Structure 1
Amino acid sequence: MQPLKYLSAYSEQTRQQVQQLIAQDRLADVLRQRYPAAHGIRTDKALYQYVQDLKTEYLRNAAPIDKVAFDSKIHVINHALGLHTSISRVQGGKLKAKHEIRVATMFKETPLEFLRMIAVHELAHVKEKQHDKAFYKLCAYMEPNYHQYEFDVRLYLTQLDLSGQRLW
């Protein structure tokens, strides 16, 4: 039994169920059945608009997002699927913060639910900096299935590690 590095925080029972799917060579099939197609958001401009729409719907009063882009330099190896950065600059006599969201390029070819989970996660960092109870409550507010999508992204990363092939 190989260690499931993306699922280490989950219960032993959950990890055993995943190991069973892997042993039966069914993990990819389960994911494809649950998420049959990839989304169509391929450009930074389309990604920016998608994230802006989410922000407008759920975080109207939050600071503006200045840039959203796919980033090929983000690697899952560094335990990052997306990044939220806040850059402070002096503008006139005031200190202004610029918020940027970057999403790993690998999410260009995944189901929309996976991209939404990453976008919601990074948007939540605009209001909540730490991964605490308030942060996850905000994520669940923006996407009620957030925790399921996060788990499924972890399953996908596990499958990707095992096979080296993308599913979509």
Structure 2
Amino acid sequence: MAFALEPGWPQSLREAFAHIGTVTSPSVDDIKIMALVEAASETLYQLSAKGTEHPGVIDILHSNGREEMVHARRAAQVVGLLGGGEFEPPEAEDNPYLAAADDLPVAAITPEGLRKQAQGEFGGQALYESWAARIDNPQAAALLRQNGAEEVDHGNRLLAAAELLEG
């Protein structure tokens, strides 16, 4: 069953990415939106892997994607810790931010594109750290910081993937 977006929430994945990038002190709703974005990112990584035939790069992209769903589940835990009740990120087929996933183009993977994507992952670490610093619940903050540390891992893997393509 498709997950229904709350009134006032971003209505597209692009809007959701833009929204979370502006949040400095996250509400429970902001963290739910982040969970949806992280869950959608698993599919985005899977789709991007179709843009290359390099097995090492495909493995890196799939690994990063699987971890994005782990991030979504951690964000869902944060929702509960902050009093937002039980929240479960939806699977791809029920994620409203992937409603148009069939329309997403598969672009060829390039070293330059991977490096740019890596910078986005490094920015995710900074975002998670800033959110963790503004949350009064130490357990929730630790979960956000763990996600942030893994965003750095994603970025480093993407840089390694760029090198594989150039090698």
- TM, length-normalised to structure 1: 0.28
| TM-score of the superposed pair, with normalisation by structure 2 | 0.28
Select the structure that is richer in helix: 2
Q: Which of the two has higher C-alpha Rg?
A: 1
Higher strand share: 1
